Amino acid sequence: MDKITMICFVIIFCLTAAACGNSKNSSDNTVPDGQTTSTPVEEQVENDLFTIEGEVVGLIDNNSFEAIVSGAPVVFRLTNAVSVFEEKGINDGDIVKIGYILDKNEQKVVKSIVKK
């Protein structure tokens, strides 16, 4: 019975310590996968068009790419991204200025992209 009591005590202690270690300040905007939920610094122009600068990480597929904005990776939707990147001479590592809107699913849909 003494071993069972000790095991129960250790389990309770570990669970208590884990719960205390996982408590987060309400200003922490992280989700379980470690990505931040806060929106990078953006400038809203007119007609819900946002502009932002970022470093191109690369294409995800033919219609989306990833860029580092304010130190965090952000996914942007861009129809025919491969063709647009080729036409504008945009490569991985380039700094770009992106004009985008948020669609009904809160996806960032690119309306303009310019290599800096």
Residue 98 reports pLDDT greater than 70: yes
Residue-wise DSSP of the chain: -HHHHHHHHHHHHHHHHHHHHH---TT--B-TTS-B-SPPP-EE-STT-EEEEEEEEEEEETTEEEEEETTEEEEEE-TTHHHHHHHHT--TT-EEEEEEEE-TT--EEEEEEEE-
The verdict on domain 43-115 having CATH code 3.40.50.300 is no
For the entire predicted model, the pTM comes to 0.62
* Every domain of the chain and the residues it spans: 43-115
- Give percent of the chain with pLDDT exceeding 90: 59
Q: Which of 75, 67, 76, 70 is nearest to 40 (CA)?
A: 70
Average pLDDT score over residue span 4-26: 58
pLDDT digits (tens, 9 = 90+) for 28-75: 444 454 444 444 555 555 578 999 999 999 999 999 999 999 999 999
